[in-house]
Amino acid sequence: MINPHGSDKLNPLFVMDAGEREALANEAKSLPAITVCSAAAANAVMLGSGYFNPLTGYMNLADSLAVAEKMKTANGLFFPVPVVNVVPDASAIQGAKQIALKDPNVDGNPIIAVMTVEAIEEATDDQMKFMTEKIYRTDDMDHPGVNAFNTVGKTFISGPIKVLNFSYFETEFPETFRTAWQIREEIAELGWEKVVAFQTRNPMHRAHEELCRMAYNALNADGILIHMLLGKLKKGDIPADVRDAAIRKMAELYFPPKTVAITGYGYDMLYAGPREAVLHALFRQNCGCTHLIVGRDHAGVGDYYGGFDAQTIFDEEVPAGAMEIEIFKADHTAWSKKRGEVIMMRDAPDHTKDDWVFLSGTKVREMLAAGQSLPVEFSRPEVAAILMKYYQGEANK
């Protein structure tokens, strides 16, 4: 199986031993505590799960600046985005060597991790602007990722952590949430060697389904990992439980048994386009995948990124040998009326706009809310039925 990023063996930061975990949780109750932001809590989940291998905790300001500038920490470890714990005020933990991190996303704010504090540093406005522009390629506060990064404070708390739980992901998505090591175990049990991953924060329509099939066949892969983001999204995105049901129905009906693994991970979407595409590749390497599908406007939002910036970053900015995982580059995919099948648009230079079955997200939402069936060329009927139930419920609120 492919090695994880940066080490021969995956090193998740979750405290595996139940007795040790219980003892640490009890000890944490007496430690100085701070409630972290949603992004920092999600970072703890990802560190605990092994997706951020080989990191041992939150980055300091120097590493964050270096990663933002050149995708390498100060000591040269390749990493595409800073992994940080940023707060508006750290006065409650000043002088503490060990602190408890409280989860903002669960009622009662339970302790999600215990942290050894190595540094507490205040970023300047110029440093925040520099990191924002490098990571997101914009400092527009209308960009959801930019807004999230710049509204949680400027105080960076860095140091190693020990993770006690996986926030709400394990309890709300017990059939779907999986750590990186659990996925590696499943891939090994299935006997897969070549595994292609598909990242999604949306339900999968015919084009997404066929894209997975195209990559699977082109690479002669053993299996497909459909890996959905379960964390915080922007307003208007479909909730994870609805996406999960729709994707499971699609895989159940339209893929052969034991060719698709449907899983999810606990992270908040950054909408960082090219940088997030590289991060997505790193995640999938850590969970044992050999290939990641990167399509048009991968991890993008609005018009902030060029259609294929998330592909060219791997050629132009990711150093050779930085990661072992390979990229399957995909074009926009849709149903061709001329050919009677889903194909990539780059493979049909003779097509005009009218030769494709293509619906905007707005049109899809309007049709589903009105109880109108989507074209079978666009969406499987069984998938559309699940989405229609959700949108009609939203329309009647």
The secondary structure element, H or E, covering residue 43 is: helix 38-49
Tokens matching residue 241: 């439980």
Q: How many CB atoms lie within 10 A of CB 159?
A: 19
Scored b (16 or more CB within 10 A) or e, 99-136 reads bbbbbebeeeeebbbbbebeebbebeeebbebbbebbb
Instruction: Give burial (CB, 10 Å; 0-12/13-18/19+) of 386.
Output: buried
> Which residues does the annotation mark as catalytic?
201-202
Q: How many CB atoms lie within 10 A of CB 251?
A: 20
Q: What is the largest CA-CA distance in the chain?
A: 69
Tokens matching residue 66: 């270096």
Residue with tokens 């850590």: 286
